[in-house]
Amino acid sequence: MPNPDKRVTTLDLLEAKRAGRKIVALTAYDALFGRLVDESGVDVVLVGDSVNTVLAGQETTLSATLEQLIYHGRMVRAGVRRALLVVDMPFLTYQVSLEDAKRNVGRVMQLTGASGIKLEGGRAMADTVRALVEMGVPVMGHVGFMPQSVHALGGSRVQGRGANAEARIVADARALEDAGAFAVVLELMPAGVAARVTEALSIPTIGIGSGARCDGQVLVLYDMLGLNQKFQAKFVKAFANLEEQVRAAVRQYADEVRQGRYPDSAHSFEQ
């Protein structure tokens, strides 16, 4: 278990890669789950734009807004004391211009108390990453399958199959490192491709659906807890079955209320 009294920094992640220690990351969207994952020893808490699909019920992340991520980022910050807190930048908040990117990223950092931001894209985003890093913002990159480009990529499909596609991913990841990114998420690519990207970089790689040879792993918390069983993906392992436990608890509550067994004297106040 990591030291509960020491806040994780980007330099700690770099040292973990050098030492061969795996990095553990999870998403969170509120103070309660932020506290729980933080106290359980994860290294990175990501306030993902996946909040738009997981909690807001939308089909993609594309309609996530800056205000939405700031709102959830502030909640998670209230619960996270030790882990490195990273907030996703939503679609169109950093792609239009460098000035837009700087302004929007600055708002996220200022209003959430995050330790860094994450954005999607490789070589096309290198100048943006460089400008943000020069502004003093730690940036996590994201290559491979990029949810904000789901329509351009033809759906949630594995990326990097074939020599040319693999070379593009490696080049994208290297461009992000050269621009100053402190880590790169590798999403939905063959394990061998992710391993070659990891070997090519001196900064950590965080895999999701990209095999075991990344420097770390990230999952959506609700998927990992078995709270979202309608979403089934090959790379997701449910470490609990909380969806069924929630259903059972609600059924028991409803039964006890209808039968007059709750609240009983132990859960009532007397005069």
pLDDT tens for the chain, 271 residues long, are 567 779 999 999 999 999 999 999 999 999 999 999 999 999 999 999 999 999 999 999 999 999 999 999 999 999 999 999 999 999 999 999 999 999 999 999 999 999 999 999 999 999 999 999 999 999 999 999 999 999 999 999 999 999 999 999 999 999 999 999 999 999 999 999 999 999 999 999 999 999 999 999 999 999 999 998 888 899 999 999 999 999 999 999 999 999 999 999 999 999 8
**Residue of 120, 166, 177, 187 with catalytic role:** 187
Active site residue 199: no
Task: CATH number for 10-240: choose from 3.20.20.60, 3.65.10.10, 3.20.20.150, 3.40.50.720.
Answer: 3.20.20.60
Q: What is the pLDDT of residue 106?
A: 98
The domain locations on the chain are: 10-240, 242-271
Q: What is the pLDDT of residue 1?
A: 59
Q: What is the pLDDT of residue 2?
A: 67
In this structure, the number of other CB atoms found within 10 A of the CB of residue 251 comes to: 10
Q: What is the pLDDT of residue 271?
A: 85
Q: Which long-range contacts (CB under 8 A, 24 or more apart) does 95-104 make?
A: 95/121, 95/125, 95/128, 98/127, 98/128, 98/131, 101/128, 101/131, 101/132, 102/131, 102/132, 102/135, 104/66
Q: Calculate the alpha carbon distances from 157 to 77, 146, 244 in Å.
A: 32, 10, 29
Angle value at C-alpha 126, between 124 and 128, nearest 5 degrees: 100
Output the pTM of the full model: 0.96
